[in-house]
Amino acid sequence: MKKEIQFSLVYRDMWQSSGKYQPTAGQLKQIAPVIIQTKCFARVETNGGAFEQVNLLYGENPNTAVREFTKPLNEAGILTQMLDRGLNGLRMNPVPADVRKLMYRVKHAQGVDITRIFCGLNDARNIIPSIQYATESGMTPQAALCITHSPVHTVEYYVALAKTLIEAGAKEICLKDMAGIGRPYSNGQIIQQIKQQYPKITIQYHGHNGPGFSIASMLEAARAGVDVIDVAMEPLSWGMVHPDIITVHAMLKDAGFTVPDINMEAYMEARRLTQTFIDDFLGFFIDPSNKTMTSMLVGCGLPGGMMGSMMADLKGMHNAINLALKQNNKAEVSFNNLVIRLFKEVEHVWPMLGYPPLVTPFSQYVKNIALMNIFAEAKNEPRFSMIDKDSWNMILGKTGRLPGTLAPEIVELAAANNLSFYEGDPQDAFPDELERFRSEMTENGWESGPDDEELFEFAMHERQYRDMKSGAAKNRFNQELEQAKEKAKAPIIVRRPVIEFPMFTEAEIKNKYPNAQPVHAPCKGKLLWQYDLTDASKAPSVGTTVNKGDYLCFVQTIYGSIEPVKQGFTGTIVASYAQQGQEVQKGQILAFIE
């Protein structure tokens, strides 16, 4: 009899790879007993990644959600698992070491057994401290290899990385095939060679289904000696998500592996309950494009989990790109051709940027650079003329060491912009901050919570936590939900563009106001000309003067964070391109100031 294969249900990732929101604490409490009754899952992914941040977006305390979900699973003897981003913890940007340490103590106390630690650059320096923190807190540290396909990312590369992480204390290894572009044979070779050196190490395979490789990779992984395979379940399987437990179970059973039986009555009930969550409100925020696979991902390697947001970006930029093409006497492009152009541009710039594995947040950075390159080309501007701060941090090594070598023109561009490369440990650039948050909680009369879980949440997601405490998050979510419901009721005859452009063009503004300078959106999200911040005045209207250093406006990202736009010089707003609450795209002109 061949070895036993266990299954892990990635219930959190099923939702994150489908749309914007996660189930509420009440919904998770409902589904947990049914998941247990299926009797085929040895593990369940309960939280991590964007889970806590998403809870905060609709005004719910994520600590309650984690405890409610893990408790029945703990009692049933099912291992619970979370995803964390190493240096970035549970957010998109680096986290101080003292906050990272607290995270593991809090999550272990909340009932989470295993933490899957990954670095988007596969920089062991960003993973090893988390292995140590998790071990000290009583959690099982599982170190992840971010799988991609490039000349740099060979079988030998991954086996060497796994050796470094195991010798640093990792108890398990995960092949995190986040875009599903890892080639099945190579995935099997990685597992086989790790097992040859470390036969007792537990290895888990996690593969998204986007380009269609993952079901073959699962079979190769099983043949190579994998111990656990991540699966999904209907109605949130396949597409850009993960293969369904039923198919994987049948495949492995036929191949002679020992797999647990599935209680189909419980499976169908879990399927029904999940559909009720979709029907309740979560379905309003699920992108239909994430229900399909596409072989176009094989070349560009973009992860399935970001395809929905990427398509939204393209729809928003489509008009802007065509307007620029028209103004420069170039042929306009269809939306489908724009998609193909973006995929090709990602393929072009990815090697130039040092082959960063395309996983959060680096997949977003590479995609943003590629999209801005297409926009620049339409305006007759050079490639790489619009690179945002976060992407520069990746290029300069401030978030970790790039796997490959930067192209000479990128190095020259950094020098031309007086930017220096960072050679130190990324964590050293982010000093401890926990006491600042503890002091403010005391001043506000806020409880730090059991095991300091509220203190942790505040320190990890400062802006979202404030909005949860004030009620602003719940109010925004309720408004967003009502808008989504109204949109769903409206008959769709012709899909209107996300961005509506004014009658005047950029050239006309420049002609009328020769010294006017454009203000660009720093990221994709909802424009807030006015936002209630304690350290900022209300943004002025068109025709008024703004001073250097003023907060001109804010953009609320899809993750709920607020990105301020500071004025770089004193001047007068002479034109506005967007309205309060409008969805804007990264790099879009918001206004002109003279």
d(CA 429, CA 397): 11
| Rounded alpha-carbon distances, angstroms, from residue 381 to 151, 246, 328, 378, 385 | 30, 51, 11, 7, 7
Q: What is the predicted pLDDT for the residue at 511?
A: 73
d(CA 140, CA 103): 14
Q: Which of 5-19, 216-230, 314-328 has the highest mean pLDDT?
A: 216-230
Q: At 492, is the pLDDT very low, low, confident or very high (cuts 50, 70, 90)?
A: very low
Beta-bridge partners for 517: 593
Over residues 285-306, the pLDDT tens digits come to 887 777 888 787 787 777 765 6
| Rounded alpha-carbon distances, angstroms, from residue 3 to 217, 227, 493 | 17, 8, 55
Over residues 325-345, the pLDDT tens digits come to 988 899 988 888 888 888 889
Single-letter amino acid code for the residue at 400: G
Q: What is the predicted pLDDT for the residue at 236?
A: 94
CB neighbours of 7 closer than 8 A, spacing ≥ 6?
40, 41, 42, 43, 228, 229, 230, 231, 245, 248, 249, 259, 260
Q: At 505, is the pLDDT very low, low, confident or very high (cuts 50, 70, 90)?
A: low
Q: What is the predicted pLDDT for the residue at 574?
A: 81
pLDDT at 199 over 50: yes
Whose CA is closest to 252, among 203, 218, 211?
218
What is the three-state SS of 46-64? Answer: EEECCHHHHHHHCCCCHHH
Whose CA is closest to 75, among 102, 35, 105?
35
Mean pLDDT over residues 8-28, rounded? Answer: 93
Q: What is the predicted pLDDT for the residue at 530?
A: 61
Q: At 558, is the pLDDT very low, low, confident or very high (cuts 50, 70, 90)?
A: low
Q: At 594, is the pLDDT very low, low, confident or very high (cuts 50, 70, 90)?
A: confident
Over residues 78-102, the pLDDT tens digits come to 999 999 999 999 998 899 999 999 9
Over residues 109-151, the pLDDT tens digits come to 999 999 999 999 999 999 999 999 999 999 999 999 999 999 9
Are 119 and 85 contacting, i.e. CB atoms less than 8 angstroms apart?
A: yes
What predicted TM-score, i.e. pTM, was given to this entire model? Answer: 0.80
- Which domains, from first to last, does the chain contain? 6-285 (3.20.20.70), 294-429 (no CATH), 506-593 (2.40.50.100)
Over residues 42-91, the pLDDT tens digits come to 999 999 988 999 899 989 999 999 999 999 999 999 999 999 999 999 99
Q: What is the dihedral of CA 239, 297, 93, 16, to 10 degrees?
A: 0
Are 149 and 181 contacting, i.e. CB atoms less than 8 angstroms apart?
A: yes
* DSSP code per residue over 424-451: S-GGGGS---HHHHHHHHHHHT----GG
d(CA 555, CA 525): 6
pLDDT at 12 over 50: yes
**Average pLDDT of the residues of the chain:** 88
Mean pLDDT over residues 546-554, rounded? Answer: 79
Q: What is the predicted pLDDT for the residue at 520?
A: 83
Mean pLDDT over residues 536-554, rounded? Answer: 69
Mean pLDDT over residues 564-588, rounded? Answer: 78
Q: At 266, is the pLDDT very low, low, confident or very high (cuts 50, 70, 90)?
A: very high
Percent of the chain with pLDDT over 70: 91
Q: What is the predicted pLDDT for the residue at 498?
A: 32
Q: What is the predicted pLDDT for the residue at 554?
A: 79
* DSSP code per residue over 85-106: -GGGTTSSS---HHHHHHHHHH
d(CA 107, CA 114): 9
Q: What is the predicted pLDDT for the residue at 285?
A: 86
What counts of helices (H) and strands (E) characterise the chain? 22, 16
Percent of the chain with pLDDT over 90: 63
Q: What is the predicted pLDDT for the residue at 561?
A: 62
